[in-house]
Amino acid sequence: MNGVNDKILAKKVAKHSNNIRNGLDVLPSLKYGVPSGMGNVRWTSDLILSTYYQAKNGNPPNNGLNYLTGASKGGFDCIHFKREKEILETEISRTDEKNIDLSISLNKKKVGRKLDIKIPAYGGGMSFGSVSLNFMISRAMAAKELGTLTCTGEGGYPEPLMKFKDHIIVQLATGMFGVREETLQIAPVIEFKYAQGAKPGLGGHLLADKVTAAVAKMRESTEFTSLYSPFPFHSVYSVEDHKKHVDWVKTINPYALVSVKVSTPRDVDMVAIGSYYAGAEIIHIDGAYGGTGAAPEIAKKNIAMPIEYAIPIVHKYLIKEGVRDDVTLIASGGIRTAFDAAKAIALGADGVVIGTSEAVAVGCTHCGNCERGRGCQIGITTTDPELSLFIDPIWGSKRIINMYKSWIIQWRKILAALGLSSIRELVGKNEVLYYKKQVF
């Protein structure tokens, strides 16, 4: 980090240490103030603390914390709603709550099972192995309560998730770790992970220390041995190959919707249209900047196209090809806040996938230790049985639900201020946005 950012961060840390001492929000890990150096230009200390606040209180902060943008000088931090002031001042009444619809459809085709989720967001894949079972259960409980979904990631389907099965997306990735016919058969959505925006071209890796007995058993591998998922699926090099994959899972589970998760290369529009013709109901594009501390920083920032650029490219191309109304376009990769999500929708996505923000809701400090030793010291990205106990699933689910409750308020304010009655009306309405350079 350069000197200028160090000074900005130091000021913010001082300011928010005071907030925390004054009882704004106290998590066990932060009892004595903000750890020095918390956050970065994308996830500033303000964004982290405002997410803690929302996870605790269920509404946006009113104490000066910036919960709208980070300080990256790019992307969503430079995109604003033209009526931002009006949006922030809009009061939401009970009538608005009933009249403003936040649900989205995950199958827009004329055929197949209909599946709507109540909010325009669902939880992204975080595998058993990369995160703790208690964090997975917290996310599943929250998804059920919110009427949305969460995703297993590629490490298998732990038994305690079964009671949330209608809300669990089963991921099928290149390593095929934990893939079982019986769990594919109960999935409402099956997600093929072809690539991840945080590390396109690199596949996945789970270092030996985190491959405990339970993880090894689930992944049918050997304890304390590093596990690598290759890139790409070596059985898929064309749309036809891809269609064979889709047909294969639809034979196992004809009721499941198929989502195709891809990163954002330059020809992301071609990838998207190919996925549609292969039979997918959901095209999930994953841009740069997502991922936990397990993804290498150099890969997160420098390989995939940022999602803000990729969304309009894909949205417009699907319109040009005449299929936009038949496919659900989902975006992820660095979407941190309710406003980021709404901006992604105004740029052309139907909805978004959230990962890191849910981790922040349960106390992630962005320390980057996810893959070191036994993993996360506060129980999020760890498989250590003792460290995992730091996340109590009931407490964790409440934090995640509260964060989304606050996001729901913000989405409704945005729609009310723009005179819209449904989040679906916001899709591709990019005239409500403008670009403003960030200057510090």
Shortest Å, Cβ 138 to ligand SF4: 13
* 66 near ligand SF4, rule: CB under 6 A: no
Q: Which is nearer to ligand SF4, 281 or 358 (CB)?
A: 358
Q: Check residue 381 for interaction with ligand SF4 (CB under 6 A).
A: yes
Query: What is the b/e burial string over 367-392, where b = at least 16 CB atoms within 10 angstroms of the residue's CB?
Result: bebbbbebbbbbbbbbbbeebbebbe
Q: Is 364 in the site for ligand SF4 (CB under 6 A)?
A: yes
Residue 366 interacts with ligand SF4 (CB under 6 A): yes or no: yes
Nearer to ligand SF4, 166 or 297 (CB): 297
Provide, rounded to whole angstroms, the least separation between the CB of residue 126 and ligand SF4: 10
Of the residues 292, 332, 357, 402, which one makes contact with ligand SF4 according to CB under 6 A: 292
Distance (Å, rounded) from C-alpha 426 to C-alpha 403? 22
427, 345 contact by CB (below 8 A): yes
Nearer to ligand SF4, 35 or 265 (CB): 35
Chosen residue from 369, 420, 430, 433 binding ligand SF4 by CB under 6 A:
369
Rounded CA-CA distance 211/214 in Å is: 8
CB of 367 to ligand SF4, least distance (A): 4
Q: Pick the closer one to ligand SF4 by CB: 205 or 316.
A: 205
Q: Which is nearer to ligand SF4, 165 or 301 (CB)?
A: 301
What distances in angstroms separate CA 26 from CA 3, 43, 49, 55, one per listed residue?
29, 19, 10, 11
Q: Hey, which bits of 194-314 come out as E strands?
A: 204-206, 227-229, 257-262, 282-286
Q: Which is nearer to ligand SF4, 165 or 372 (CB)?
A: 372
Q: Is 171 exposed, middle or buried (0-12, 13-18, 19+ CB in 10 A)?
A: buried
DSSP conformation class of 304? S
Lookup result for tokens 């591998």: 221
User: From the list 376, 387, 401, 427, which residue makes contact with ligand SF4 (rule: CB under 6 A)?
Assistant: 376
- Calpha distance 169→313 (Å, rounded): 26
Locus of tokens 């390593």: 175
Instruction: Considering the complex, state which of residue 236 and residue 367 has its C-beta at the smaller distance from ligand SF4.
Output: 367
Is the CB of 253 or the CB of 357 nearer to ligand SF4? 357
Judged by CB under 6 A, does residue 129 bind ligand SF4? no
- Min dist. Cβ of residue 364 to ligand SF4 (A): 3
Query: Which of these segments, 197-205, 210-218, 374-382, 416-424, binds ligand SF4 (CB under 6 A)?
Result: 374-382
Q: Is 138 in the site for ligand SF4 (CB under 6 A)?
A: no
What's the CA gap between 265 and 268, in Å, rounded? 5
What is the C-alpha to C-alpha distance for residues 46 and 39, in angstroms, rounded to an integer?
9
3-state SS assignment for residue 374? coil
Task: Rule CB under 6 A: say whether 139 interacts with ligand SF4.
Answer: no
* Residue-by-residue DSSP string for 161-181: GGGGGGGEEEEEETT-TT--H
- Please provide residue 24's backbone torsions phi and psi, each rounded to the nearest 5 degrees: -60, -50
- Contact status: 293 vs ligand SF4 (CB under 6 A): yes
Q: How far apart are CA 280 and CA 246, in angstroms?
A: 7
The answer to the question of residue 367 lying near ligand SF4 (CB under 6 A) is yes
Under the binding rule (CB under 6 A), the answer on residue 27 touching ligand SF4 is no
Instruction: Give 179 or 359: the residue with its C-beta nearer to ligand SF4.
Output: 359
How near is the Cβ of 370 to ligand SF4 at its closest, in Å? 4
**Among residues 278, 361, 370, 416, which is the contact residue for ligand SF4, using CB under 6 A?**
370
Beta bridge pairs of residue 434: 80
- Binding status of residue 206 toward ligand SF4 by CB under 6 A: no
Nearer to ligand SF4, 212 or 365 (CB): 365
Give residues in contact with ligand SF4 (CB under 6 A): 292-293, 359, 364-370, 376, 378, 380-381
